[in-house]
Amino acid sequence: MTARIIDGKALAQKVRARIADDVARLKAEHGIQPGLAAVLVGDDPASQVYVGMKHRATEAAGMYSRQLELPDDTSQADLEALVGELNADDAIDGILVQLPLPDDLDPQPVQELIDPSKDVDALNPYTAGRLAVGDPTFLSCTPYGVLELLGEAGVDTVGAHVVVVGRSNLVGRPLSNLLTLKGNDATVTLAHSRTKDLAAVCRSADVVVAAVGRIGLITAEMVRPGATVIDVGTNRGDDGKLVGDVDFDAVAEVAGAITPVPGGVGPMTVTMLLQNTLEAARLRRGLPRR
């Protein structure tokens, strides 16, 4: 292996320690404890694991955590009413509704109901629109984590060509917008399933971000020697183990730096959710960002 491993677990621990210090200072100086509410509908095992992780991380940071578990047969009206209650609850600074929802529930109107000042998951169209026009409020947690990982690895995005493979509203689209903001200044190609000669497009990149959800999509032949590869994919292999979108062993022989799965982007997603919640608590009370 020639690639340097970008350790998301180590960076997450460092950032979470800083967040915990900031939370303690906010309590001591202003009597404010940031609060995060996570809404889980149904009994999807993966969603239960994710919400549990977020709950534990929130409490470990010194924040108030409220975990709301609703049955699988919850109605659209009842879910939207709960979001309205959380919007009005001053103890709650951040609201997330864990996706996916059961098939008979529509997530879009639920996300649109979340107060933009509490939209720490950055899925409200208002929040996405602010990012698109270059004046963001909260940054989408996974793209935010990717940016932090690039910075930790010493990857300068200014003038760099970044190819983002995947155009989802959770990762690909917001990450593309984030990378082009002033200060990041990357030249971004947003690739997807209909991109012609995807391999050639990826080989032209200084940084490749894989965010599709397809095992082994990015092969060594698709990566320019020395390029940085960020693997956002989370897939279950035939053996049940978690794997990414990148053929890790082969690509690591070519890339200059690479994130593993697990232990790369994943820990940073939850970490940046905590950061957003901390920022929400400050902004909602007229305090400046840190």
The active-site residue, picked from 22, 98, 206, 231, is: 98
Which domains can be identified in the chain, with CATH numbers? Answer: 30-118 (3.40.50.10860), 141-266 (3.40.50.720)
Whole-angstrom Cα distance, residue 153 to residue 159?
Answer: 17
Burial class, 172, CB count within 10 angstroms (exposed 0-12 / middle 13-18 / buried 19+): buried
Full 3-state SS string of 5-43: ECCHHHHHHHHHHHHHHHHHHHHHHHCCCCEEEEEEECC
Whole-angstrom Cα distance, residue 77 to residue 83?
Answer: 10
Whole-angstrom Cα distance, residue 98 to residue 121?
Answer: 9
Whole-angstrom Cα distance, residue 68 to residue 98?
Answer: 10
Indicate if 98 belongs to the active site: yes
Amino acid 261: pLDDT: 96
Of 193, 190, 262, residue with least CA distance to 233: 262
pLDDT tens digits, 80-137: 999 999 999 999 999 999 999 999 999 999 999 999 999 999 999 999 999 999 999 9
Written as six digits, the tokens of 255 are 């890339």
Q: Please state whether 164 falls in left (phi above 0), alpha (psi between -120 and 50) or beta.
A: beta
Q: What is the pTM of this model?
A: 0.95
Amino acid 60: pLDDT: 98
* Runs of H (alpha helix) within 114-219: 125-132, 141-152, 172-179, 198-203
The active-site residue, picked from 22, 93, 115, 121, is: 121
21-33 burial code (b ≥16 CB/10 A, e <16): ebbeebeeeeebe
Q: How many CA atoms lie within 13 A of 156 on its CB side?
A: 2
Whole-number Cα distances in Å, 82 to 66, 97, 99, 101, 116: 13, 10, 16, 15, 16
Indicate if 121 belongs to the active site: yes
| CA 104 remoteness from chain centre | 25
Amino acid 1: pLDDT: 66
List per-residue pLDDT tens for the chain, 290 residues long. Answer: 689 999 999 999 999 999 999 999 999 999 999 999 999 999 988 899 899 999 999 999 999 999 999 999 999 999 999 999 999 999 999 999 999 999 999 999 999 999 999 999 999 999 999 999 999 999 999 999 999 999 999 999 999 999 999 999 999 999 999 999 999 999 999 999 899 999 999 999 999 999 999 999 999 999 999 999 999 999 988 888 889 999 999 999 999 999 999 999 999 999 999 999 999 999 999 998 87
The active-site residue, picked from 54, 118, 247, 275, is: 54
Indicate if 73 belongs to the active site: no
The angle at the Cα of 36, spanning 31 to 40, to the nearest 5 degrees, equals 160
